[in-house]
């Protein structure tokens, strides 16, 4: 794997680990204030699927004899745009943002930033483009063809769980 792509992979892993740290801190504070988790088993499965996607794409990319650097550059740009989307989501949600579904009785309905345009920007503007960008950057075609649809199974479950929890907790959500 060329050094620039190796550096990209390291930065991507560090970026994701740092967001998990932010999520964990927010989760602890939310639970301390009486919030509860919804869909815990699926959250674990989704986290494992995310990690597996990163690892499998990295291995697939490392085994390729030659990379398409144009495709790699496009993938890196898509990944960076998805990271900017996550930063926007983090700004809008603040301490409410976690990688889990954590709901409290005073759950607000966020309508700022990307949430004013898209119902689930964290999923549709961050996670899916992030995985596509990561896979393209590494020319990990099989990971994209097989792994992305598999990843979408727990993601769809997550969205349904979140919709149900928010509908129950936030008047007028639906």
**Band of residue 110 on the pLDDT scale cut at 50, 70, 90:** confident
- What domains can be seen in the chain, in order of their start residue? 3-169 (1.20.120.1630)
Report DSSP letters for 4-16, one per residue: HHHHHHHHHHHHH
Q: In this predicted structure, what is the pLDDT of residue 105?
A: 78
What's the mean pLDDT in 30-36? 94
Whether 84 and 35 have beta carbons less than 8 Å apart is answered as no
Q: Is the pLDDT of residue 1 over 90?
A: no
Instruction: Please provide the average confidence, as pLDDT, over all residues in the chain.
Output: 95
pTM here is 0.93
Asked whether 130 and 11 are in contact (CB, 8 A), the reply is no
Question: Residue 109 — pLDDT band, cuts 50, 70, 90?
Answer: confident
- Residues 149-159: tens digit of each pLDDT: 999 999 999 99
Could you give phi then psi for residue 161, rounded to 5 degrees? -65, -45
The answer to whether the beta carbons of residues 166 and 51 sit under 8 Å apart is: no
């Amino acid at each position: 794997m060329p050094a620039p792509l190796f550096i990209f992979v390291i930065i991507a892993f560090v970026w994701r680990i740092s967001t998990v740290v932010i999520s964990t801190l927010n989760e602890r504070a939310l639970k301390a204030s009486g919030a509860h988790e919804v869909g815990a088993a699926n959250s674990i499965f989704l986290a494992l699927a995310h990690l597996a996607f990163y690892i499998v794409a990295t291995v697939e990319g490392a085994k390729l004899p030659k990379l398409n650097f144009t495709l790699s550059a496009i993938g890196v740009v898509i990944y960076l745009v998805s990271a900017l989307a996550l930063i926007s989501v983090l700004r809008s949600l603040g301490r409410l943002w976690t990688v889990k579904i954590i709901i409290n009785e005073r759950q607000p309905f966020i309508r700022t930033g990307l949430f004013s345009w898209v119902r689930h920007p964290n999923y549709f503007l961050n996670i899916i483009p992030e995985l596509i960008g990561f896979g393209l950057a590494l020319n990990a075609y099989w990971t994209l063809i097989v792994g992305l649809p598999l990843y979408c199974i727990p993601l769809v479950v997550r969205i349904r769980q979140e919709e149900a929890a928010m509908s129950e907790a936030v008047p007028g959500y639906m």
